[in-house]
A and B are shown apart, each in its own frame.
Chain A
Amino acid sequence: MSDSHARENTPILHARGLGKQVDSGERRLDILTGLDLDVFPGESVAILGSSGAGKSTLLGLLAGLDTPTSGELMLFGKSLSSLDEDGRAQLRAGHVGFVFQNFQLLPTLTALENVLLPLELTPGKDHQARGRDWLERVGLGERLGHLPKQLSGGEQQRVAVARAFVTEPALVFADEPTGNLDRTTGRKVIDLLFALNREAGTTLVLVTHDHHLARRCQRCLQLDGGRLVELDRDEVEA
């Protein structure tokens, strides 16, 4: 086995027997049970599931925002269970980007300042230039100083996309990125997301209930009964 082959086969994200239980009144609810997943560098993976299937819970676990009840999870080759909350945060810093359904832009910050926010946690001098560059790449070069409320929903999500890529992360999580957008706008944002993903060679994990969207990923996984089932891309109904 050559070195390069070994590196390609080292998953960026590796889950075995992942489980998550929550207390709901007197009952314990199993949201995820014995879930396995490997995501390799440069891949784009869609996780499909109906409403309430536990997609957001899974995303939270994969990104290290939450801790599993059972199982093993490794991000960038490090076991998350061995890290505390701060350790997990440190692991994310500069290496993971996020796109949220509800954009999560801070209302008092301009478009540029919102994009700069993750950069500001890391040292470096050309932050401003990088922020401008990424906003230009998402077509908002003229709107740098606008506050979120002065932007349309699609524009806001483009700012969020620029923010996700500005640190040049190895891995981007997207949680229903078109959920709050109309179809045409949503499609434009998704085109942008995939284009940038290709250009930057980033790994993308996308959570959605939209089959159209899922089909554009290299792999599609269905979350069902707390486990992931790999779908053939052609099986995903349009």
Chain B
Amino acid sequence: MTGHARRDDIFRLSLKGLRRDLRASDVRALFVALALAVAASTMIGFFLDRLDRGLTRQASQLMGGDIKLEQDEPFDAELRRQLEQAGLTLADQVDLVSMASHGDAFQLASLKVVGDAYPLYGQVHVDQGQGVVQVPNGPARGKVWIAPRLAQLLNVSIGQEIQVGQVSLAVSGLIEREPDQSAGFGSFNPRLMMHVDDLDATDLIRPGSRVEFELLAKGSPEAVESVQGLLSRLQAEGIEVEDVREDRPQLGSALERAEKYLSLAGLAAVLLAGVAVAMATRRYVDRHLDTAALLRCFGASQRQLARLFALQLLWLALASATVGALLGLAGQAGLLALLMQFLPMELPPPGWLPLLMGVLTAVAVLIGFAGPTLLRLKQVSALKVLRRELDPLPASAWLVIGVASLVFGGLLWLYSGDLQLSLGLLAGGLVALVVLWGLGWLLLGGVLRLAGRWSNGQGGGAQALRLGARQLARRRQASLGQLLAFAVTFAAMAIITLVRGDLLTTWQAQLPQDTPNYFAINIQPAERDGFIDILDDAVDSRSALYPMVRGRITAINGQPPRDVVPEEHRGDNSLRRELNLTWQEDIPEGNRIVAGEWFGPEAGVGYAGGAQTVPISMESGLAGRLGMGLGDTLTFAIGSQNVTGEIMSLRDLDWDSFRPNFFVVFPPGVLERFGHSYITAFHLDRESGGQVLGELVSAYPGVSLINVEAILGRVRELLSQVTRAVEFVLAFVLLAGVSVLYAALTASHSLRTHESGLLRVFGAGDRLISRVQGVEFALLGFTSGLMGALLAELAAAGVYVGWLDLVPRIHWMMWLVLPLGGALLIGVIGHALSRGVRRQTPMASLGLLGEA
């Protein structure tokens, strides 16, 4: 007498069973679907994880270090010792503005005095006479590196000497790009970089001179964390402290949207794969009911069966997760290669977390989308071997959908980290599903009725249409399931495609061909008209001319700013530096009022100074940081006077627009009495531009012209790289969609085999059967396409408004493309996949049903 099956026997049997099962198309479909889900989620997970860590590093580079301390006197040795003890590498830097001269030419320059440790991150792009090279250091003692514009203004070239304060230094390089180029347009004077050892000799540091001493520190996150207490103390003492983890510049809106898009696409791929898994599982279970019944006959217990199939599927999940993770790893490398140019070069290696998430995704998708259906296997009665009709009841559709939704909601939460968003999407999705179920029922009925009406003729086409529609109608429940699966698939594919298209359009609109590539600042009132005359003759587009007055915020609602501003924003730049203020009659171009009302053109008329307040308009982001709203007042020190404004409106503006932007706008009639200059931005062709520039520089030597072509180029490049990344991910989603089609068609394979066998027995020819199947699939595809279009339109609108901050619109083309494309796609794929069915003899196809 042989004993009962032991644990390890089941273990062995499950492995063996899976190996054998790989011959079955449904198991292959399950494998492909799971692998795709894991590949998509790990690819995007790996990528976003590396990108995030890489961006932090890039931010460190832009800031010059992981921590930046700033004050107006040198840092003492004790502080240095403490920071170095914590494991941080330090670099000194001194910033000041001073005159530089060469012969008769004088020019204000923005001095950056660096030590031997400079730069802590990245490299300086500098031309030392043999073209631009990247070097990991600053200029040596006795040398200076200067901006090409300064060289032009001073008429000096490499090898010649310039005077800085009391010392004469040799120009040894022209700076193309600094790694820590974060100053933006704040520093209008051209750069001059020199060694810290030469600073004393210049004799520029005197009591009262405006100098910023900076101490930059680089170190591991742990080291940075360990000095947090010290940093807070320093902050309380009035030292400005920047920490890269808190003060990391936000991603540009384009990259931020791309990140969101990637997450969305990853989830769409997981959802599609889930649908494919659900469909493949039905066929898997149907096929294994016989195995289960036989094993029951041979003496297997319910528990053993449950363990056997659970283990078998676990192996499947692990195997497909491994393949998927490898694919994901390769995919993220591809994604990275596409985006390499604008990412910091040394991106940290892929972490383990995304891999774990991938395996978790596979197991979760399997449990969620296949679990309830699999329970049928356990319930099989051994008697089924004698009486075929004794199949256990199919799992309730609502149970299947309910469990799948829960699991998918969990994954949504896991990936987005946003419970509310996940719940909202889930609830919306379920409501949509109920509506779709009803709608699908009606739609299918309608299409079938139409098909019936059109197929009254006697021709072969009409006959095929009639028979195909009837086959579809006979299996209305099963057809409805497929219809929903296809509709969701088409919708997911369509949303990802639509969103991509609209993202690209938005991005392109953001930076049109004539986006300004030059800024002109410091245009004096007397120079204004003449400057504009030269400019308008030569350029295709320019922004309005904005007057500019500099003022410092001295009070908020009559109180010192430090007392009123929320604690985390007390170090905000706007409170430490002078702000550029302007006046305008109308809302500046590209600005949108988000609260309050724009003041009228007369609002500032009659302003007499003193305690009188005038209406002002403030940028909403700054207002938020300073904790201000409509009705609050701001007092600015301009020159020796104070001007108080009351916020009448809040504005949103696009900082990526390459136009002059202002935090605070006054009405005309208030700021004119102060010293002011003008600023404008314009677009100049690269070819014809040189001559105009020369003309402007010689006619108005005091006006600073800033070329932002390089920055513009980098932003454009970023957009085109992101576009390619988005397309790459789209391809993955489309693949996942095809896996659904494959799984669905596999699921209905045996039924179709039987039907075509019967049709042939009753005398139908190859041609007719082929047509009938084609028609059936095409009708299914057409109806799914219609429903998919509806679903996609609704979902896209939701995603645009709620997530990507784009304006929704109706996509008419989709309503044409999805139904027709669906009919064609499902028709052709389905028809091709059932070729094997048609080739079988009726004996074989009918016999197969008996054994399966």
Q: Which residues of A contact B (CB under 8 A)?
A: 56, 59-60, 63-66, 85-86, 89-96, 98, 100, 102-109, 113, 117-118, 120-124, 148-149, 167, 175
Q: How far is the CA of A176 from the CA of B20 in the complex (A)?
A: 29
User: Are the CB atoms of B1 and A65 closer together than 8 Å?
Assistant: no
Among A64, A66, A86, contact of B303 (Cβ-Cβ < 8 Å): A86
A85 touches B294 (CB 8 A): no
For residue B4, which residues in chain A have a CB less than 8 angstroms away from its CB?
90, 93, 122
Q: How far is the CA of A89 from the CA of B295 in the complex (A)?
A: 9
- Name the CB-closest residue of A to B22: A108
Chain A residue nearest to B302 in the complex (CB): A86
State the CA gap A115–B12 with chains docked (Å): 17
CB of B16 within 8 A of CB of A120, answer yes
The 9 closest A-B pairs by CB, nearest first: A93-B299, A118-B298, A86-B301, A94-B2, A92-B299, A122-B2, A65-B382, A65-B383, A121-B5
* Residues of A contacting B6 in the complex (Cβ-Cβ under 8 angstroms): 123
The CA-CA distance from A122 to B2 in the complex, in Å, is: 7
Chain A nearest CB, measured from B690 CB (Å): 75
**In the complex where A104-B294, A149-B844 touch, is A98 in contact with B385 (Cβ < 8 A)?**
yes
Residues of A with C-beta under 8 A to B296: 65, 89
Bound-complex Cα distance A102 to B9 (A): 28
Which residues on B sit within 8 Å (CB–CB) of A85?
A: 302, 382
B318 within 8 Å of A by Cβ? no
Given known A-B contacts A107-B852, A175-B386, A65 and B381 have beta carbons under 8 A apart? yes
Query: Across the interface, which residues of A come within 8 angstroms of B295, CB to CB?
Result: 117, 121
> By the criterion CB–CB under 8 Å, are B2 and A167 in contact?
yes
Q: Which residues of A contact B299 (CB under 8 A)?
A: 89-96, 118, 121
The answer on a CB contact under 8 Å between B20 and A121 is: no
Do A103 and B851 have beta carbons less than 8 Å apart? yes
B380 to chain A minimum Cβ distance, whole angstroms, is 11
B847 to chain A, nearest CB (A): 8
Verify if B23 is at the interface (C-beta below 8 Å from A): yes
Decide if B304 is an interface residue (CB 8 Å cutoff): yes
CB distance from A22 to the nearest CB of B (A): 11
Q: Is the CB of A124 within 8 A of B2?
A: yes
- Bound Cα distance A65, B298 (Å): 10
A186 to chain B, nearest CB (A): 17
Confirm or deny: B13 has a beta carbon within 8 angstroms of a beta carbon on chain A.
Answer: yes
Residue B3 interfacial (CB < 8 Å) = yes
CB-CB under 8 A for A89 and B851, given A104-B294, A122-B4, A122-B9: no
Q: Hey, which chain A residues are within 8 Å of B2, CB to CB?
A: 93-94, 122-124, 167
Given A65-B381, A86-B302, A149-B848: A56 in contact with B387 (beta carbons within 8 A)? yes
Complex contact A108–B20 (CB within 8 A): yes
* B163 is an interface residue with CB less than 8 A from chain A: no
B 1-39 binary contact with A (CB < 8 Å = 1; else 0)? 111111001001100100011011000000000000000
The smallest beta-carbon distance between B226 and chain A, in angstroms, is: 59
Tell whether, in the assembled complex, residue A93 and residue B291 are in contact, meaning their CB atoms are under 8 Å apart.
no
* Chain B residues, CB < 8 A from A93: 2, 4-5, 298-300
Bound complex: CA A92 to CA B2 (Å): 11
CB-defined contacts of B287 to chain A, threshold 8 Å: 108
Contacting residues, chain A, for B382 (C-beta < 8 A): 63-65, 85, 89
Instruction: Give Cα A53 to B700, complex, Å.
Output: 114
Chain B stretch 258-312: residues in CB contact (< 8 A) with chain A: 287, 290-291, 294-304
Binary per-residue interface labels of chain B (374-397) against chain A in the complex, 1 for a CB within 8 Å, 0 otherwise: 000000011101111000000000
Among A65, A66, A95, residue most surrounded by chain B Cβ atoms (within 10 Å): A65
Residue from B13, B302, B382 whose CB has the most chain A CB atoms within 10 Å: B382
B14 to chain A minimum Cβ distance, whole angstroms, is 10
Interface contact A60-B5, CB-CB below 8 Å: no
Query: B229 at interface (Cβ–Cβ under 8 A)?
Result: no
Residue-wise, chain B 839-852 has the 8 Å CB interface mask toward A (1 for contact) of 00000100010111
> Which single residue of chain B is at the shortest CB-CB distance from A120?
B13
In contact, B1 and A109 (Cβ under 8 angstroms): no
Q: Measured between C-beta atoms, what is the minimum distance from A178 to chain B in Å? A: 16
A106 touches B290 (CB 8 A): yes
Choose among A60, A91, A109 the residue that contacts B386 (Cβ–Cβ < 8 A).
A60
